[in-house]
Structure 1
Amino acid sequence: MALQVFENKLSTLPKQVLPLYKQVEEHIKQLILEQRWKPGDMLPNELLLAKEFGVSQGTVRKALNSLTESNLVHRHQGVGTFLSEQTGQTLYRFFPIVEDGKLPALPKAEITGMELIRPTPDVVLQLKLRVGERVIRLSRLRTLGSTYILSEEIHLPEKYFPDFMDEEDIPHTLYHFYQTRFNYTVHETTDRIKAVLATQKDAQQLGVKSGDPILLFTRLTRDKDGKLLEYRINRCRSDDFHYLSEQD
């Protein structure tokens, strides 16, 4: 694989914040998101990656070890490092918002609130909850680059995520977190999309004007056993962004 295929984006990462191996890890995630490799493909070896990123082989190895712990890749000793089958779903298939004219990019998440609540009737219906069951409501704003593009309200059944409220570091990519921390592998999502008008709250959060057209999409997420893991209510600006759905 030619070195120039990576375009050496490592310098664009926030070096003052991330350790060097984390910069490499985030860059590899972005390359995965851009579908440089398909699930099951073998990644370039450590020496090639180290040369491309301008770091030591040990730094690359530490980044790959971290990706292995997150189940993004798996390593066969003496053979190589391979992209896990779940990776494609986790990093790009399940985040469908793309900037017009751009490749898919890995969004960041800013948590604006988290609380344990009695769910609304709609959430009870969507998650098929029993009377008295509570949910964790996680509110986030998602960004691409420096632009706020989407607000999320995520509802998680307390019975499946009993220690979620005690977590100190909730990652941007929750589906990895469900898998590695709670042993739930996301298997299926169902999205419903409609066009609505931005409210004053949308205007404040997303930088649009009240009354502008935005996308409202809701998502139900199930694990491989059919458990309803989460219900999301997403409100997304649509001026320079679109919803991308790709089928195999």
Structure 2
Amino acid sequence: MTDLAASPPRSRQSLFAEVRERIVAALEERRYRPGDRLPSEPELAVAFGVSRPTIREVLRSLETDGLVRRVHGVGTFVTERRPVVSSRFDLDLGVTEAVEAASRTLGVEILRIAEERAPGPIAERLAIPLGSPLLWVERVIRANDAAVAYAVDAIPEAVAALAGGTRYEGGSVYRFLESACRLRLAGGVAEVSAVNADRRLARLLGVTPGSALLRMDQVERDADDRPVLFSSEHYVPTLFTLSVRRVRHGRDEASSGEARG
């Protein structure tokens, strides 16, 4: 039991987050290995000084993220594959930056860097003529030697030319745009969908064909609101998780109004 909780959570305001963070830390530090059974819900509740419903909610979230497997009447077991990168969806981080921010060992496998002609959907999103030249970059991103994402980035040639003689050779595409091209990136709107891995994606990411992947497409804009990058990324959801803070519409305003009144 002392492996998980040396002392009760300090704050009562976010018990769920604190307990979850400590259990995840224990898994990351491999105090519990794949196949090990975690202490029971009553034992965890006593160890952390929280209620069983809180523990149950934490374990449910860990199961959703693929860290544990719960067997009714038997117990909760550590799974073989645990998420190695957790990032916030509401932060405009490139996938390599997210891996580094999670303090994981970054690996970038360049599949292709070439000049391509913009197909219709990408040309429309980048507001450039059909067939315009693009700098096309395909990569597999690794964290702690595990393939966590497949990324395709398309940069209009006119934007890439701002780098002068500096060529993109790997690493963060965002940093290339900011440092070499001297752009100030402002963010963009991302579209997220669930897709199934085809044979090529399955081979690149080390998953079974048909496995669920998280796809995110985004057009990045600069400070002048010009589209400067189209990116399409496929994440392995059991290895790369994205979270977002959601606020119920009108609740904050109503609360503020009541406080002022």
Q: TM-score, normalised to structure 2's length? A: 0.53
Instruction: Report the structure number with the largest CA radius of gyration.
Output: 2
Deviations 1:103-141 (A, max 9, x none): 824643221101111111111111011245211111111
Query: 1:163 offset after TM fit, Å?
Result: 6.7
Contact 2:214–2:237 (Cα < 8 Å) also in 1: yes
Q: Which consecutive unaligned segments of at least 5 residues does structure 1 have?
A: 1-88
Q: Pairwise mapping of residues 103-142 of structure 1 onto structure 2 (< 5 A)?
A: 104-105=102-103, 107-142=106-141
Tell me how far apart the structure 2 counterparts of residues 132 and 93 of structure 1 sit (CA, whole Å). Answer: 28
Distance 1:215 1:167, change over 3 A: same
Q: Match of 2:214?
A: 215
What letter matches 1:192 in structure 2? E
Report the residue type matching 1:138 in the other structure: V
Deviation, 1:144, is 0.7
The one-letter code of the counterpart of 1:188 is G
Gaps of 5+ in 2: 1-87, 247-261
- Change in CA separation of 1:127 and 1:227 when aligned onto 2, cut-off 3 Å: same
Distance of 1:173 and 1:223 partners within structure 2 = 16
C-alpha distance 184-119 of structure 1, shift in aligned 2 (>3 A): same
Provide the C-alpha distance between the structure 2 equivalents of 1:108 and 1:190, rounded to a whole number of angstroms: 26
Query: Kindly tell me: are residues 180 and 246 of structure 1, through their superposed partners in 2, closer, same or farther at Cα, counting changes over 3 Å?
Result: farther
Q: Which residue in the other structure is 1:244 paired with?
A: 243
Distance 1:200-1:131 versus aligned 2 partners, 3 A rule: closer
Under a length normalisation based on structure 1, what TM-score does the superposition of the two structures give? 0.55
Q: Deviations over 1:47-75 (max 9, x none)?
A: xxxxxxxxxxxxxxxxxxxxxxxxxxxxx
Partners of 1:149 and 1:191 in 2: CA distance? 19
Residue in 1 that maps onto 2:161? 162
1:198 CA drift (Å):
0.7
Q: Which residue of 1 aligns with 2:196?
A: 197
What's the secondary structure of 1:162's corresponding residue? helix
Letter paired with 2:189: T
> Which SS does the other structure have where 1:126 is aligned?
helix
Partners of 1:184 and 1:245 in 2: how far apart? 27
Q: Residue 174 of structure 2 aligns to a residue in which SS?
A: helix
Question: Residue 240 of structure 1: CA displacement?
Answer: 3.1
Structure 1 residues 205 and 94, CA, compared in 2 at 3 Å: closer, same or farther?
A: same
- Asked if 1 retains the 8 angstrom alpha-carbon contact of 2:163 and 2:182, the reply is no
C-alpha contact 1:96 1:244 (8 A) present in aligned 2: no
- The separation in 1 between residues aligned to 2:227 and 2:171, in whole angstroms, is 20
Name the SS for the 1:170 alignment partner.
Answer: coil
Letter of the 1:191 counterpart? A
